[in-house]
Amino acid sequence: MEIAIMKAVLELNDNKAREITALLKEKRVLLLNIISSPGSGKTTLLERTAEHFKGKYSIAVIEGDIATARDAERLKKYNIPLVVINTDGACHLNSMSIKNALDQFDLNELDIIFVENVGNLICPSEFDIGESAKIAMLSTAEGDDKPAKYPLLFRESELMILNKMDLAPYTNFNKVSFYKDLEKINKNLPVIETSCTKNEGLSGWFEWVEYKAIGGGAGI
């Protein structure tokens, strides 16, 4: 019975995800799903992104968190549409909650929606939310073994952001081991090394987002 229930839940999620994909394609809106552990730098990345694309693209953010709206509070100063989804203990966002969030936006006025998923390397990787792409984010402070331990995320993602490179000298992060593991899982996965707090290495991220928005994504 448990297996049947799980299949039903996943089927319902996938059906709604397909509806979202079709809707966003019609509206020519890019939906980027950023997945990482807590504290990897997702919100700081979105702060830098909002600053960079101000006046160029109309962006919005869906913030997923177990509790509070603290990450969203940090983004309010950029005057962008924000929706917070508190999961009350659930370890990921699903397509139904994303559709409810999208209903709060005027999609005709948006170009790009960023989803800051619940901090978790496992569950968010398993659920399709109708996104245009998944982005894996990892900080050097978390260790170099995460691709080997949580391969699904790195297999499903179109881009990897390796953040907090400024802290790497103060950790035991082994870049050789990290890239060797990553190549076994997804040898074609591009990696952008950044320090979001120091505003370093972000040009590659901005270029990738713009490519997805114009040439490789929604065709804005």
What is the chain's pLDDT, residue by residue, as a tens digit (220 residues)?
A: 344 444 556 778 899 999 999 999 999 999 999 999 999 999 999 999 999 999 999 999 999 987 778 888 999 999 999 999 988 767 889 999 999 999 999 999 999 999 999 989 998 898 999 999 999 999 999 999 999 999 999 999 999 999 999 999 999 999 999 999 999 999 999 999 999 999 999 999 999 999 999 865 554 4
Short-list 87, 96, 49, CA closest to 69: 87
d(CA 213, CA 220): 6
| Domain boundaries along the sequence of the chain | 2-214
Phi then psi dihedrals of residue 84, to 5 deg: -105, 130
d(CA 87, CA 85): 6
CATH number 3.40.50.300 given to 2-214: yes
